[in-house]
Amino acid sequence: MANENKSVWTSISFWRRSAAWVTGFSAILLIWLTFDSVNQIAMGSDADLQKAVAQKREINRVPAPTVINYHIDYKMDEKRGHEVPVIGEKEPFFGKEWSPQEAAALLHLGKLTSQAKNCMNCHTLLGNGAYYAPDLTKAWLDKAWRKGGPLQAMTGKSTREEAMAEFLQHPSQYPTHARMMPNLGITAEEAKGLVAFLKHMSSIDTNGFPRNFSKTVEQFKTGGTNAH
Partner 1 sequence: MLTSIKTNQFQGSESKKLAMMYFRVALILFGAQLLMGLIAAIQFIYPSFLFEVFDFSVARMVHINALVVWMLYAMIGSVYFMLPDETGVETVGIGLGKLAFWVLTAAVAVVVLVYIFIQVGPGKESTIWLINEGREYLEAPRWADYGIVVAVLIFYYNVFATYMKGRKTGIVTVLVADLMALAGLYLAGMFFTDNISMDQYFWWWVIHLWVEATWEVFVGAVAAYALIKIIDAKREIVEMWLWIEVLMLFGSGILGLGHHYFWIGTPEYWWEIGALFSSLEPVPLVAMFVHVLYDWGKEQGIAKAAGKPASIVKNGPAMAWIVLNAFGNFLGAGIWGFFHTLPQVNIYTHGTQFTAAHGHLAFFGAYATILIGMMYLGIQEAYGLKQLKATFKSKMAIFLIAFGVMGMTIALTIAGYEQVLIERAELGGGWNSYFVGQSMPWYVQAQIWRTIMGVITFIGFIYLVWDMLTIGKEQASAAADAQPAAA
Angle at which helices 188-202 and 100-116 pack, to 10 degrees?
100
- Indicate the residue among 61 and 72 with the shorter CB distance to partner 1: 61
Q: Rule CB under 8 A: is residue 59 a binding residue for partner 1? A: no
- Identity of residue 221: K
Number of residues that bind partner 1 (CB under 8 A): 94
- Residues 80 to 99: which contact partner 1 by CB under 8 A? none
In whole angstroms, the minimum distance from the beta carbon of 72 to partner 1 comes to 15
Q: Map residue 149 onto helix, strand or coil.
A: coil
Told to check if 68 binds partner 1 by CB under 8 A, we report no
- Our CB check for partner 1 shows the closer of 7 and 55 to be 7
Q: What CA–CA distance (Å, rounded) separates 208 from 72?
A: 15
Q: How distant, in Å, are the alpha carbons of 13, 31, 119 from that of 7?
A: 12, 35, 56
- Smallest distance from the beta carbon of 87 to partner 1, in angstroms? 15
User: CB neighbours of 190 closer than 8 A, spacing ≥ 6?
Assistant: 109, 110, 113, 168
CB of 49 to partner 1, least distance (A): 14
- Give me the phi and psi of 84, to 5 degrees please: -135, 155
Measured from the CB atom, the residue of 56 and 177 that comes closer to partner 1 is: 177
Q: Which stretch binds partner 1 (CB under 8 A): 11-19, 46-54, 94-102, 157-165?
A: 11-19
* Binding-site string for partner 1 from residue 123 to residue 142, where x marks contact by CB under 8 A and - marks none: -xxxxxxxxxxxx-xxx--x
What share of residues in the chain are helix, strand, coil (percent, to 5)?
Answer: 50, 10, 40
Q: Pick the piece of the chain touching partner 1 (CB under 8 A) from 37-45, 46-54, 87-95, 155-163.
A: 37-45
Q: Which of 117, 146, 157, 228 binds partner 1 (CB under 8 A)?
A: 117
Q: Give the side-chain half-sphere CA count within 13 A for 187.
A: 6
End-to-end CA distance of the chain: 77
Classify the C-alpha dihedral 133-136-139-142 as positive or negative.
negative
Provide, rounded to whole angstroms, the least separation between the CB of residue 70 and partner 1.
Answer: 18
Task: State which of residues 68, 87, 107, 195 lies at the interface with partner 1 (CB under 8 A).
Answer: 107
Q: Is 65 in the site for partner 1 (CB under 8 A)?
A: yes
What residues numbered 180-219 form the site for partner 1, per CB under 8 A? 180, 182-187, 190, 193, 197, 201, 204-217
